[in-house]
Structure 1
Amino acid sequence: MGSTINMAPFVTCLMFTVVCLLIGGSYGEHSLDRRANVVKRADNDTYYNIYTKINTLEKYVINLETKLQTRTKLLRQVLKSVLEMDSNLGLPNKYLKKENIPALKKNAVGFTTKLPSTTYSSTSSIIRGSPILYNGGNAYNGTVFTCPSPGLYLFDVSLLSITKNNGIWIYKNSQQLTLAWAGGDPQKNGASVSAAVWLDVGDQVYLRPHRSSLYIDGNSAFTGVKIN
């Protein structure tokens, strides 16, 4: 009986120790599992963050490439326009080569003539020109310019006169275009006027007095030229 009583505390102590070991082992396992999960989660977060940054960087690079392509295309268009402009600006040099000048002179249409000192007594008179200083295309015969080719033409008349309140009309066929009017002091009268007009082949342009008794000084002039 005595030995049984002495064994009881030892058995109790042994059982307590086993229970503690079991509890501790279970806690340890849970603790290890928890730490493993934390490490795994941390690894996953790190992987996710790196992937996100790489993905963002790739999108940025793609966006940058798109912008670069757009700017390159724009620069090419600008360069093309500049080259075309430069080419167009270079055209006169091509056509003004020495060997091409005779053809240019032959095809040029225009004239300049002085108006001789004369007094015109009728508004139906056509004002004469003499001497003719230039007559490209031979379209001006000393009184009338007859259009040799369709296009836009510019005409100008400069009047010097001692007649007061009178002037010169530029006519197209039977139509009055513009009037060079001289008024004021009869000792110092001067006037000029221009007219841009489209002409077809055969249309005629000439000058007439606005009123009768128009005196024209010999330094007056009449000019016409095809501009397009």
Structure 2
Amino acid sequence: MSTLVNLLWLVLANVMVEYRVESFLINGHANVSGSPLDNGYYNIYSKIDYLERALQNLETVVQQKETHMDTLLRQVLLTVNEMDAKIESSGSQKIETNTLRLQNMSLEIEQLKKLNKNDTAVGFTTELSGTYNSTSSIIRGTLILYNGGNAYNGTVFTCRSPGLYLFHVSLMSDSRLGGILIYKNSQQLTLAFAGDENPQVNGASVSAAVWLSVGDQVYLRPYSSPLWINHNSAFTGVKVH
């Protein structure tokens, strides 16, 4: 009887031990899966899962940042392109403006050249008047109306550039045998003769085309004396070619 009781107690103790061990293992697995801080076999897998989730989160953040950077780069490139376009457009406008200014300056320069050319064109016109008592006298201009090239000094025209010149004299006088001679150096060219009587004021005119070299002089002398010259008389010279 005692042997049977002992055997029953031994079986019961074995069952209780197995129950406690199984409960311990079940509770231990539950604790390991629930907390990554326990030390054990199941804690390794929990840390691996934790690291995988952290890595996935990091990859997500990196992808978001890369997307944000791509957006910023696109915006920067767009801004740079717009600035380049504006600079190019502004540069083109400046070039066009400068081109127009240069063209206007060229036109102004051409106009100034023409004006200067007109101002320096060789020629003169002067009024004549007064009384001359000698045929050797040189008739003077009393009022110079134009003197391009400043070659006429009020008495004598001196050639400064060779070429073909045209001279003209118009005379109004009441002097008997009144007339004016055009001279080149000491050579008599032509005569404007107002008549051989003096009852009234008479008029006369004459022209002379002559080739002049540098230094040649052209001037006027009375045909006879005394010679009275009305103030409406004139002497003109111009370089033709």
TM-score bin, normalised by smaller chain: 0.5 to 0.7
**How much identity, in percent, do the aligned residues show?**
69
- 2:194 is aligned to 182
Q: Distance in 2 between matches of 1:185 and 1:163?
A: 5
Determine if the alignment matches structure 1 residue 115 to structure 2 residue 116. no
Q: Distance in 1 between matches of 2:126 and 2:120?
A: 19
Amino acid at match of 1:198: W
Determine if the alignment matches structure 1 residue 151 to structure 2 residue 163. yes
How well do the aligned residues superpose, as a CA RMSD in angstroms? Answer: 1.7
- 1:67 is aligned to none
- Structure showing greater radius of gyration is 2
Cα distance, 1:97 vs. partner?
5.1
Question: What secondary structure, in the 3-state scheme, does the structure 2 residue paired with 1:99 have?
Answer: helix
Determine if the alignment matches structure 1 residue 216 to structure 2 residue 194. no
Q: Distance in 2 between matches of 1:107 and 1:138?
A: 8
Q: Distance in 2 between matches of 1:141 and 1:105?
A: 19
Cα distance, 1:174 vs. partner?
0.3
Aligned residue among 135, 153, 172 for 1:160: 172
Q: Distance in 2 between matches of 1:166 and 1:130?
A: 19
Using structure 2 for the length normalisation, give the TM-score: 0.53
Cα distance, 1:119 vs. partner?
1.2
Q: Note the alpha carbon deviations across 1:93-113, whole angstroms, 9 max, x for none.
A: x9x952322331243000000
How many residues align structurally?
133
Q: Note the alpha carbon deviations across 1:101-158, whole angstroms, 9 max, x for none.
A: 2331243000000002x11110000000021000000000000000010000000000
Q: Give 5+ residue unaligned stretches, structure 2.
A: 1-106
- 1:200 is aligned to 213
Q: Is the 8 A contact 1:161 1:186 kept in 2?
A: no
Q: How does 1:83-102 map to 2 (within 5 A)?
A: 98-102=111-115
Q: Is the 8 A contact 1:164 1:189 kept in 2?
A: no
Aligned residue among 108, 115, 140 for 2:152: 140
Amino acid at match of 1:104: K
